[in-house]
């Protein structure tokens, strides 16, 4: 990623959104053990099964290459979860990684069903390469939805991801409804990022690809710091490619 990561700006950015979560009655914690993460998500009512991307039994994540966030309410009950991981695509690109099924399984030859398929039609996916951070498995309990919680979570993850990895790109996959409702705070989105079928997981998706560059992540944080200091950042249009 071009440019240096300003650690002070990142710290202020994360702190501001952590405070916003606290004001909503949510206490957040960060973890790195994905066995623990899966045990939390499996014990959380109404949370769907975590995709193999974040499950150690199908796609182990090396130390320092993944983290997760969990938020609890005043009763210490889980109200939100999300996870992130880093892919080294210096010798490949996101489209190839998706279509080879290595995006989902560490060893597709061992874990994928013979009829598993992933087709990526998003043009930008062929240009997403290098250090690529994936944000996913975002879930918010129904009584906390519609309150800006998703924006708080995604902004915190931008800060943590930038601080940990300074990636070339961050990306995610989500249904069209999330684009229509502007659930995710992203500058770029394209349809058919992952037309997916995982037979053993009972997964059939046609997800949009959303993404931003590392430089756009850094600009978001620097702009927030200027705003917090009383200097208005330039307006940036959000668009769907």
- 49-90 pLDDT per residue, tens: 999 999 999 999 999 999 999 999 999 999 999 999 999 999
Asked if pLDDT for residue 238 goes beyond 90, the answer is no
pLDDT of residue 228: 52
Fold of 7-228: Aminopeptidase (3.40.630)
Asked if pLDDT for residue 233 goes beyond 50, the answer is no
pLDDT of residue 7: 85
- DSSP per-residue codes, the chain: --S---HHHHHHHHHHHHHHHHHTT-EEEEE--HHHHHHHHHTSTTPPPPPGGG-TTTS---TTSEEEEEEE-TTS-EEEEEEEEEEEETTS-HHHHHHTTTTT-S-HHHHS-TT-EEE---GGGGT--EEEEEEEEEEE-GGGTTSSHHHHHHHHHHHHHHHHH--SEEEEEE-HHHHHTT-S--SEEEEEEEEEEETTTTEEEEEEEEEEEHHHHHHHHHHHHHHHTT-PPPP------
Give the chain's mean pLDDT.
90
pTM of the entire structure?
Answer: 0.89
What are the residue ranges spanned by the domains of the chain?
Answer: 7-228
- 6-46 pLDDT per residue, tens: 788 899 999 999 999 999 999 999 999 999 999 999 999 99
Asked if pLDDT for residue 232 goes beyond 80, the answer is no
- 183-217 pLDDT per residue, tens: 777 889 999 999 999 999 999 999 999 999 999 99
């Amino acid at each position: 990623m071009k440019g240096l990561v300003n650690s002070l700006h990142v710290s202020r950015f994360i702190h501001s959104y952590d405070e916003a979560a606290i004001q909503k009655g949510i206490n957040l914690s960060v973890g790195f053990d994905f066995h623990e993460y899966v045990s939390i998500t499996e014990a959380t009512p109404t949370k769907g099964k975590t995709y193999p991307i974040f499950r150690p039994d199908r796609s182990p994540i090396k130390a320092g290459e993944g983290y997760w966030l969990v938020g609890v309410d005043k009763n210490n009950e889980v109200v939100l979860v999300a996870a992130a991981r880093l892919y080294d695509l210096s010798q490949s690109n996101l489209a190839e990684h998706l279509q080879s099924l290595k995006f989902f399984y560490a060893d597709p030859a061992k874990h994928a069903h013979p009829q598993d398929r992933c087709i990526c039609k998003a043009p930008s996916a062929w240009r997403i390469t290098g250090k690529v951070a994936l944000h996913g498995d975002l879930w918010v309990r129904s009584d906390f939805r519609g309150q800006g919680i998703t924006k708080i979570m995604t902004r915190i993850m931008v800060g943590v991801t930038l601080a940990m990895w300074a990636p070339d790109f961050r990306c995610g996959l989500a249904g069209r409804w999330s684009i229509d409702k502007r659930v995710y705070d992203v500058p770029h989105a394209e349809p058919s990022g992952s037309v997916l079928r995982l037979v053993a997981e009972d997964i059939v998706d046609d997800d949009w690809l959303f993404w931003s560059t590392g430089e756009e992540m850094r600009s978001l944080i620097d702009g927030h710091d200027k705003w917090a200091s009383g200097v208005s950042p330039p307006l940036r249009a959000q668009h769907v490619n």
